[in-house]
């Protein structure tokens, strides 16, 4: 056997590694010779790279790659993405149809699926369900539930504009139930996420409106709440009616007539600034806005009350 291997070595010592691979596949060789090629190939590799541990791994004939489950993994991922796309498509259709409770019931079954796009929509749907409820306690529960969904969505995708927007909105909504102190302490975080949402999507009128509303709230703080803010924070949050107006006008410019509340806030801000004509113009628009949601209903009612005093 040793003599045979030496003769074999002399015959094949000038072959390249590529040649050895070719022969190791069995081209034009008998089974015994092919085995000798494989043994010799292993010897050459060990000598060439001076790494004895390589001898532990046989030089096997090259084969066509079959995938070893990769295609199956990709298929599963594609199926998962397709499923989420279907969920999102159905959710958006229900949202556009203003089917508040049906939308919530549909999305809540996917609350543990770990998809940010589904979760921020669920947060929005839960928030709308709370607004829809006439029961104050149920409304409160919905807002806190929605806030939890928004936190999960943001944790999954911190660079999503809607995730940042809905986290900020719901952080502020829940703070209203926890008192002025908590709302003031949360104020900078709320503003930070609104700003990030706008940076990620400058064409989102709702985020721009929300930042305008933040500015209006802190411009409109009564003196005793300002005093509380100064005791809680070294630099308490502050803004002006002019700054709030800029954001409300920008939101209207980005998407005209998109939201009854933006029209209402334009009217209120102009009223605070003493521009009665402009205030009346926007309050009339808010009053006459088609009522489709609880926000529209509230905007209409507030606009009617404010117009009585102009």
pLDDT for residue 276 is more than 80 = yes
Which has more confidence, 24 or 211?
A: 211
Q: Could you give the 3-state DSSP secondary structure of residue 60?
A: coil
pLDDT digits (tens, 9 = 90+) for 40-94: 444 444 444 444 333 333 333 333 434 444 444 445 455 556 678 999 999 999 9
Alpha-carbon dihedral 242, 190, 220, 141, rounded to 10 degrees = 140
Please report, for the chain, the start and end positions of each structural domain, with discontinuous segments joined by +.
Answer: 2-56
pLDDT value of position 71 = 47
Helices (H), the chain: 2-12, 17-24, 31-49, 70-96, 100-108, 116-132, 136-156, 161-178, 180-200, 205-219, 223-232, 241-254, 260-272, 276-287, 294-308
Give the integer Cα–Cα distance in Å for 291 and 94: 17
Q: Could you give the 3-state DSSP secondary structure of residue 274?
A: coil
pLDDT value of position 84 = 84
pLDDT for residue 124 is more than 80 = yes
pLDDT value of position 79 = 52
Among the ranges given (151-155, 161-165, 215-219, 228-232), the one the predictor scored with the smallest mean pLDDT:
228-232
Q: Whose CA is closest to 265, among 196, 189, 214?
A: 214
Span 262-290, average pLDDT: 98
Span 269-293, average pLDDT: 97
Cα R_g (the chain), whole angstroms: 34
pLDDT value of position 38 = 47
Give the integer Cα–Cα distance in Å for 228 and 236: 9
Alpha-carbon dihedral 279, 284, 293, 163, rounded to 10 degrees = -30
Helices (H), 157-204: 161-178, 180-200
């Amino acid at each position: 056997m040793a003599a045979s291997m030496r003769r074999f070595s002399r015959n094949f010592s000038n072959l390249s590694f590529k040649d050895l691979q070719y022969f190791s596949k069995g081209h034009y060789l008998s089974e015994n010779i092919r085995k000798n090629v494989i043994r010799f190939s292993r010897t050459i590799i060990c000598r060439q790279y001076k790494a004895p541990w390589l001898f532990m791994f046989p030089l096997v004939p090259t084969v066509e790659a079959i995938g070893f489950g990769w295609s199956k993994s990709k298929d599963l991922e594609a199926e998962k993405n397709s499923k989420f796309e279907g969920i999102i498509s159905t959710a958006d259709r229900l949202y556009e149809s203003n089917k508040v409770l049906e939308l919530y019931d549909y999305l809540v079954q996917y609350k543990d699926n770990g998809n940010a796009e589904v979760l921020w929509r669920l947060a929005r749907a839960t928030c709308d369900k709370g607004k829809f409820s006439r029961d104050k306690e149920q409304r409160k529960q919905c807002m806190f539930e929605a806030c939890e969904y928004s936190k999960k969505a943001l944790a999954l995708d911190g660079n999503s504009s809607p995730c940042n927007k809905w986290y900020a909105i719901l952080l502020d909504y829940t703070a209203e139930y926890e008192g002025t102190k908590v709302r003031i302490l949360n104020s900078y975080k709320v503003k930070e996420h609104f700003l990030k949402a706008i940076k990620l999507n400058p064409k989102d009128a709702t985020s721009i409106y929300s930042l305008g509303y933040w500015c209006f709230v802190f411009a409109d703080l009564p003196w005793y709440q300002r005093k509380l803010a100064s005791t809680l924070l070294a630099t308490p949050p502050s803004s002006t009616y002019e700054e709030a107006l800029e954001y409300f006008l920008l939101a209207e410019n980005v998407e005209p007539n998109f939201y009854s509340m933006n029209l209402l806030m334009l009217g209120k801000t102009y009223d605070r600034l003493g521009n009665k004509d402009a205030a009346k113009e926007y309050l009339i628009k808010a009053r006459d806005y088609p009522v489709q949601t609880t926000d529209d209903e509230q905007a209409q009612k507030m606009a009617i009350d404010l117009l009585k005093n102009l």
